[in-house]
Amino acid sequence: MSGAVVIGGGPAGLMAAEVMASAGLPVTLCEGKPSVGRKFLMAGKSGLNLTKAEPFDPFLAAFEVAAPALRPMLKAFDSQAVQDWAEGLGQEVFTGSTGRVFPRAMKASPLLRAWLARLAAHGVQIKTRWQWQGWDGDALVFDTPDGQQQINADVTVLALGGASWSRLGATGAWAPLLAERGVG
């Protein structure tokens, strides 16, 4: 296979897939759970705070010690860009009294459905129940409902989440796999 593989179907993985597919790369997104966006949907139960509408410098300062490292990314995709992105998916947003920005629908499912439709329109292939097991040489290895599968990719994005809420997919089981490769 040539193209990109994204491992992880949360917001980071979905956004990575969107950016690469929009640039013309063939993208396969692999998610270990039966569906993508599980933690995103859980966050949407409380309204789905997308961003905060405020000038860039105070917005950046909220990230405290991480602010210098995050500055280029947040400058490239700032609060207004997040709002424009959501509205580009047909999801009207509003700013609450504290400056937090929410979808008018106050839930994540309409946004996720629109996002998945956009990914499908870009040709992104989504494979669920594909649990990443590591590498065999340069090939990515997955346990799937059809048995073990291997994929060779030109580029791989690991969007694996942290080690919280294992029932939603974020177990941290990937940490030893990366440590074996000298990433830690």
| Cα angle, residue 27 at apex, residues 120 and 35 outer, rounded to 5° | 60
Cα-Cα end-to-end distance for the chain:
28
Rounded CA gap, 53 and 30, in Å? 33
Model's pTM, two decimal places? Answer: 0.90
Q: What is the pLDDT along the chain (184 residues), one digit of tens a residue?
A: 569 999 999 999 999 999 999 999 999 999 999 999 998 898 888 889 999 999 999 999 999 999 999 999 999 999 999 999 999 999 999 999 999 999 999 999 999 999 999 999 999 999 999 999 999 999 999 999 999 999 999 999 999 976 665 665 566 677 777 788 777 6
User: The domain 1-48+108-184 is classified under which CATH number: 3.90.1150.10, 3.30.470.30, 3.50.50.60, 3.40.50.2300?
Assistant: 3.50.50.60
Cβ-based neighbours of 154, under 8 Å, separated by 6 or more: 2, 3, 4
Domain assignments of the chain as residue spans, ordered by start: 1-48+108-184, 49-106
